[in-house]
């Protein structure tokens, strides 16, 4: 069943980069024990900065030495602690790949790597875009990959991760994304996708901030093209909820994936692999950043340029659905 109290189109802004600090503070105030490592981009004015000020004995600043931070986080976890480690997303995936692979995943430790500024939200151009991370994370054994759709869902992920056995990457954007879920009381289970909107003509499977764009795209599809689109929030990329993928593909016969990452190796690749390997026929397309260094610009301009905005999603979906 679709979620009944989920979204509206009022562009209520939320900030996952603030939400994770708020939830850590709440959990610490409740008596939960964990450590926090962070890099220099955690400002004292942020909620994470306020957590550092209130609980300094469990917080460790590693400046801009991201590989050292990830390695030390593994060491803290081997001592028996759950560790939350916040890092700038592109540096987490590109500079600390060895430590993620060997120190964190190989040792199967309780570290939650929080990669901020996902996709192109850093607005720092190709060198600071975080677009190759999902391909890397998917290929590393033992590593769960979670991509919250909004700030409230980020809070749920942080709290639920305390009971998850094994390492995890939590991928969030820079901040200021619209809220997807108007009612945060919905059930959330790691590894279980959420059908946000029902539909009979095609399925849109998305993650992260793309979930809101997909909902807006579905609205345009209905109003402009008369197409009834189903929207799935695939918040957990690994382990992947293949049952929902199979169900959606059988119900509509047309699947579109939307992600703010390279189309190589991410959500679209994961869904395509499952569909092909299990003989699920139908139409399929991926929407994401192409195999190139993205153009320089404000994130909203970049999304529009690559057809990742709601209008672009609707146009691509309509074209795929109507193609022979």
Which pLDDT value is given to residue 9? 45
**Count of alpha carbons within 13 Å of 321, Cβ hemisphere only?**
23
Terminal alpha carbon distance of the chain: 30
Cβ pair 124, 174 in contact under 8 A = no
CB 64 within 8 A of CB 38: no
Residue 1 has pLDDT above 50, yes or no: no
Tokens (6 digits) for 177: 């994304």
Q: Which residues pair with 204 in a beta bridge?
A: 231, 256
Q: Average pLDDT over the chain, rounded to whole?
A: 90
Bridge partners of 289, per DSSP, are 262
- Banded model confidence at residue 48, pLDDT cuts 50, 70, 90: confident
Q: Which residue has the higher pLDDT, 319 or 123?
A: 319
Cα gap 310→275, rounded to integer Å: 25
One of 3.40.50.970, 1.20.970.10, 3.30.365.10, 3.90.1300.10 is the CATH number of 13-178, namely: 3.40.50.970
Q: Could you give the CA distance from residue 173 to residue 135 in angstroms, rounded to a whole number?
A: 17
* pLDDT of residue 188 exceeding 50: yes
DSSP element (H, E) containing 232: strand 229-233
d(CA 257, CA 303): 15
What does the pLDDT average to over 74-82?
Answer: 95
Percent of the chain with pLDDT over 90: 72
Strand ranges (DSSP E) for 62-167? 83-88, 111-116, 144-146
pLDDT of residue 133: 93
Q: Given a cut of 80, is residue 26 above it in pLDDT?
A: yes
Looking at the predicted structure, is the pLDDT value of residue 4 above 50?
no
Task: Give pLDDT, residue 13.
Answer: 52
The answer as to CATH 3.40.50.920 being correct for domain 194-322 is: yes
Question: Residue 92: its pLDDT value, please?
Answer: 92
Question: What H or E segment, with its residue span, contains residue 238?
Answer: strand 236-238
CA 15 to chain centre: 13
Assign 222 to helix, strand or coil: helix
Every domain of the chain and the residues it spans: 13-178, 194-322
- 16 band by pLDDT with thresholds 50, 70 and 90: low
Least-confidence region, from 34-38, 230-234, 299-303: 299-303
**Residue 253, CA distances (Å) to 220, 226, 280, 288 in order:** 20, 17, 9, 21
Please state the pTM of the whole predicted model.
0.92
Rounded alpha-carbon distances, angstroms, from residue 112 to 58, 139, 158, 250: 15, 17, 8, 35
Residue in 61, 316, 12 with CA at minimum distance from that of residue 72: 61
Same fold, 13-178 and 194-322: yes
**pLDDT bracket for residue 41 (50, 70, 90):** confident
Is residue 5 within 8 Å of 185, Cβ to Cβ? yes
């Amino acid at each position: 069943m679709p979620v009944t109290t989920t979204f509206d189109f009022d562009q209520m802004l939320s900030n996952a980069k603030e939400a994770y600090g708020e939830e850590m503070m709440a959990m610490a105030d409740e008596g939960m024990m964990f450590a926090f490592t962070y890099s220099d981009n955690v400002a004292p004015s942020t909620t994470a900065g306020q957590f550092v000020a209130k609980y300094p004995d469990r917080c460790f600043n590693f400046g801009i030495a991201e590989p050292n931070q990830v390695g030390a986080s593994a060491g803290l976890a081997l001592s028996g602690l759950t560790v939350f480690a916040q890092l700038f997303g592109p540096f987490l995936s590109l500079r600390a790949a060895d430590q993620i692979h060997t120190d964190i995943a190989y040792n199967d430790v309780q570290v939650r790597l929080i990669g901020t500024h996902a996709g192109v939200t850093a607005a720092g151009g190709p060198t600071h875009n975080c677009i190759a991370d999902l391909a890397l994370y998917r290929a590393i054994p033992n590593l769960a990959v979670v991509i919250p759709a909004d700030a409230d869902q980020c809070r749920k992920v942080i709290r639920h991760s305390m009971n998850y056995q094994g390492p995890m990457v939590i991928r969030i954007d820079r901040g200021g994304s619209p809220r997807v879920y108007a009612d945060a009381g919905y059930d959330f289970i790691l590894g279980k996708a959420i059908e946000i909107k029902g539909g009979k003509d095609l399925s849109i499977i998305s993650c992260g901030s793309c979930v809101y764009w997909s909902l807006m795209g579905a609205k345009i599809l209905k109003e402009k093209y008369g197409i009834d689109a189903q929207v799935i929030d695939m918040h957990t990329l690994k382990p992947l909820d293949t049952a929902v993928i199979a169900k959606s593909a059988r119900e509509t016969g047309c699947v579109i994936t939307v992600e703010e990452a390279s189309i190589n190796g991410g959500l679209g690749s994961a869904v395509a692999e499952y569909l092909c390997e299990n003989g699920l026929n139908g139409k399929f397309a991926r929407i994401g950043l192409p195999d190139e260094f993205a153009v320089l610009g404000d994130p909203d301009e970049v999304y529009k340029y690559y057809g990742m905005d709601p209008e672009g999603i609707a146009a691509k979906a309509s074209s795929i659905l109507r193609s022979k």
